[in-house]
Structure 1
Amino acid sequence: MELSRPIKSLKIYREYLLGSLADVTQEQAEHIPKEFRNNIRWNLGHMYVDAYLWIFSLTGEAEETITKWNSWFGYGTTPNDFTEETPSFEELKKLLISQVENLEERYGDRLDKVYAPTKYEGYTTIGDVLMRVAFHEGLHFQTIAHLKRFSSDVEQH
């Protein structure tokens, strides 16, 4: 399946992000340096949830799983909000890649459909929202790079 341009770009960004995490251990992904309030795992989950939340804010859709996951990865949450049900670091890496295919399948044919503007930024198409998602993920990519640096000396158990 040929991916649409915004979704293809998101896939490339995600592959680059996940490639940068190839040497990150579970312990490093869970570590919260004293200078931060979240860890690598939280950032991955936040990126996953945020993409859907922005699309849903535009389309009016809702999904029970994303609503639940928002309590772990939504704005203002921390790893202190995690439970045994919270997806693992490895699960989140897989989900970030599979989400790209899911977005294409669900929204690829309506990326340019005009909706009422979102209440936050005034976006009117899913394609516009995906550009915002890519920008947002770039910010978190930088945060993850800093977290990697501050977590590099975490020992494996």
Structure 2
Amino acid sequence: MNQRQEVLFNQLETYREELLSNVENVSEEEAELIPKVFNNNIRWNLGHIYMDQYMWIKVLTKDDLYPDSFNHWFGFGNSPSDFDDETPSFEELKHLLKNQTSKIKELYGDRLEEEFPPTEMGMFTIEQVLSRTIFHEGMHTQAINDLKRYLRIQ
């Protein structure tokens, strides 16, 4: 793994640690609340981050990295109203997220520059996809921070 790729994985790990730190003191009850001005809750955002990172890798590699049900629960345009008894809990999602970066590194650390047919966004390597998911994770980390701020005001 070259220095650029090591930096990429360091960023993935650092931002993931920041995300998990941001939800460390959130209760199960708080993770389920959806204030009127929001579309989703903290639990949904965690599941969406987890699914999205694997989804983009799957788009390239066709590898089956997560259950299809994650698309139903956490896909774009879905909401907690789509949850059922099988939906991972807040605690389960935190555990999945904690291990995701090391799993990606283990599975794809030596394949980051391998070329695949491009996605609709023009990405054709896992390295490019991971760079995109860092941005996406940051957006949803901010959404979680906004939810936390709003919920604690009330």
Q: What is the CA-CA distance between 1:153 and the residue it aligns to? A: 5.5
Alignment match of 2:44 (pick from 30, 42, 48): 42
Alignment match of 2:29 (pick from 24, 27, 30): 27
CA distance in structure 2 between the aligned counterparts of 1:153 and 1:89, rounded to whole angstroms? 22
Whether 1:133 and 2:133 are equivalent positions in the alignment is: yes
Q: Structure 2 matches for 1:1-157, cutoff 5 A?
A: 4-63=6-65, 65-119=66-120, 121-152=121-152
Q: What is the CA-CA distance between 1:151 and the residue it aligns to? A: 1.6
Deviations, residues 52-88 of structure 1 (Å, cap 9, x unaligned): 111111112234x431111100001000000111111
Residue identity opposite 2:150 in structure 1: F
CA distance in structure 1 between the aligned counterparts of 2:50 and 2:10, rounded to whole angstroms? 16
Displaced runs of 4+ in structure 1, greater than 3 A?
none
Would you say how many aligned residue pairs link Structure 1 and Structure 2?
Answer: 150
CA distance in structure 2 between the aligned counterparts of 1:92 and 1:47, rounded to whole angstroms? 10
Q: What is the CA-CA distance between 1:51 and the residue it aligns to? A: 0.5
Does the 8 Å CA contact 1:49/1:66 hold for their aligned counterparts? Answer: no
CA distance in structure 2 between the aligned counterparts of 1:57 and 1:50, rounded to whole angstroms? 10
Q: Which moved more, 1:135-144 or 1:5-14?
A: 5-14
Structure 1, unmatched stretches of 5+, are: none
Residue identity opposite 1:118 in structure 2: T
Deviations, residues 99-157 of structure 1 (Å, cap 9, x unaligned): 111101111110011111112x1001101000000000000011001110122267xxx
Residue identity opposite 1:47 in structure 2: I
Structure 2, unmatched stretches of 5+, are: none
**What TM-score do the two structures reach when normalised by structure 2?**
0.92
